[in-house]
Amino acid sequence: MLDLAFIRNHADIVKEAARVKNNTLDIDYLLEVDRQALTLQHQVEEMRAQQKQLSKRVQQAGKDKDLRDTLIVEGKQLSEQIKELEPRLSTLTEERQQLLYLVPNIPDPNAPIGKDESENVPVKYWGDLPVFDFEPRDHYSLMQQHNMVDIERAVKVAGARSYALKGDGARLEMALMHFAMERLAQK
């Protein structure tokens, strides 16, 4: 996630990054939400500072009951005003955070620009591509074939994107964790 200060100071660069990555996020809207949140936050902080000053003045008023009562009423009014502003501030802050999650990273200037994933260009290959005399399968179909995973039952129990390893799949995962722990313990 990009820093908000960077987005404020380099809005044009961020807008260009969004355009290049086909991101429809309106950066100007994000900056407007940010401006509103900062303004409201400043107002609330000023009111809290006034509340502290009033509290000190109430203590200093001592036995002057009329002055104390007046200051207490002012403090309550400030407190009510703050309570009215805080929900809006919370909403703006949350909206700003959600928008920040959508801001794309700045691409490398040398990266080729494409419409979508199909126009990606490999920059570098490592090693020789293996040649198989059979149709390679992905890990999911191999695990299904060898009865190592139960997706359907896991989704019913834990929700979408869940899986449950069983049999050799569970043993394989435990062996990998044990191997990693042993390697880390040696270091």
| pLDDT number for residue 145 | 93
Indicate the length of the chain as a whole number: 187
100 near 1, Cβ under 8 Å? yes
**Nearby residues of 79 by Cβ (< 8 Å), 6 or more positions away:** 51
Burial degree of 110 (CB within 10 A; 0-12, 13-18, 19+):
exposed
Q: Which domains are present in the chain? A: 4-102 (1.10.287.40), 139-187 (no CATH)
- Coil, helix or strand at residue 165: strand
pLDDT band with cut points at 50, 70 and 90 for residue 61: confident
Least confident of 13-22, 59-68, 140-149: 59-68
